[in-house]
Amino acid sequence: MRGFKAFLLRGNVVDLAIAVVIGVAFGVVITAFVKDLVTPLIAALGGKPDFSSLYFTINKSRFLYGDFIDVLLAFVIIAAVIYFFVVIPYTAMVERSRKEPPADPTTKKCAECLSEIPLDARRCAFCASPQTVSA
């Protein structure tokens, strides 16, 4: 029993459980957004497409391919909503916050001729003037 308790209380199991709960809640929000806002908008623009009544029969077996088309369209719409309203803004936010600090300079300007020379140079390679060495 002690090993089972240790397994349950490890960080990655708890993190995974939290991720699943948050993922389910996020899925419900996205599904409601698509069902309540996006789908009616599409229906208002192009009529209400409902393929659930489409089927064919072979040997008294009904194949409801219309339901499959409805589910496939819902999947594509949900994927598009997630991409355009979650992935693109999130990626842009991460890129903005990822600005790297400028690298330490490796060169300096010569006081006489303003040429770029290494920081530790004692003389300028272009005009041979003495340089102060940076500490």
Candidates 113, 112, 123, 106; CA nearest to 133 is 123
Overall pTM > 0.85: no
Percent helix, percent strand, percent coil in the chain, to nearest 5: 55, 10, 35
Residues 6+ apart with CB under 8 A from 66: 51, 52, 53, 54, 55
Write down the domain spans for the chain. 2-97, 104-135
Where on the phi/psi map is residue 132: left (φ > 0), alpha (ψ -120 to 50), or beta? Answer: beta
Confidence grade of residue 48 (pLDDT, cut at 50, 70, 90): low
Phi then psi dihedrals of residue 23, to 5 deg:
-60, -40
pLDDT of residue 98: 82
Phi then psi dihedrals of residue 62, to 5 deg:
-95, 125
CATH architecture of the region 2-97: Orthogonal Bundle (1.10)
> Greatest CA span in the chain, whole angstroms?
98
Confidence grade of residue 44 (pLDDT, cut at 50, 70, 90): confident
Beta bridge partners of 109: 116
Residues 6+ apart with CB under 8 A from 117: 107, 108, 109, 110, 124, 125, 126, 131
Lowest-confidence region among 21-25, 55-59, 61-65, 104-108 = 104-108
